[in-house]
Each structure stands twice: as C-alpha cells, then as structure tokens.
Amino acid sequence: MEDLTEMLKGTLEGCVLEVIGGEETYGYAITRRLNELGFVDVIEGTVYTILLRLERNGLVEVTKRPSEVGPPRKFYSLNKAGREELARFWAKWQYISARINKLKEEAA
C-alpha cells in the first residue's frame, strides 16, 4: 500500500496510546508491534517523536530500565490523563469512521 502517511495523521498517536494501554512497553517494541499490525511503513523516528509528545503532554508515565540485549529502554504506561485521551480518541474514531463509511455507502 502506497503512502499512507497523510491518512495516518491524527490516528497514529492514538494507535500508540492503545498499544501502551495494552501493556507497559517501550519505543522500539511499539514500532515492531505497529509493523506487525500492518502499519508497515511506520518507522522508529516517528514513534519516538510521538512518545516525546505524549510525555510532554503528561499522558504517560516513564520508567527507564536496563536491557539485557542493548541500551536502556524507556518504558511507557498510561496515566489517568492518558486513559482519558485514549477514550476520546476512540470516540472520535468511531464518529468519523461511521460518517466516512456512510458517505461511501450512499455513493454505492
């Protein structure tokens, strides 16, 4: 699938929130997880900028822990604000996707 980046704007951050909400995890693993899920072109740099933004906006708790196979990892988990933001994200997603799908079906 060619160039999905514009369409991911505004949703990729929510996806990262969702992954973190599932379990405490870190940037490199989040990137791999998103790739597995079909977001194949999402690259580390993108995820790290999102994580720094989440941290700056106070949506996550951060803990640095050593790794046995490389440099230390920064583990992220959602705090209250993060969980609320995640809920808002899914509400928005449901709203918008419903409307877009309706537009699509009315055309057909």
Encoded one letter per residue, x for contact with a copy of itself by CB under 8 A and - for no contact, window 51-90 reads -------------------------------------x-x
Considering CB distances under 5 to 8 angstroms, the limit depending on partner class, which of DNA, a copy of itself, none binds residue 73?
Answer: DNA
C-alpha 9: how far from chain center:
11
Pairwise CA distance, residues 74 & 58, whole Å: 15
- Restricting to residues 60-99, which ones interact with DNA according to CB under 7 A? 66-74
Total Cβ atoms within 10 A of residue 58: 12
Q: Are 71 and 93 in contact (CB under 8 A)?
A: no
Q: How far apart are the first and last CA of the chain?
A: 23
Tell me the number of residues near DNA by CB under 7 A: 34
Question: Which residues sit at the interface with DNA, rule CB under 7 A?
Answer: 4-6, 8-13, 26-29, 41-46, 48-53, 66-74
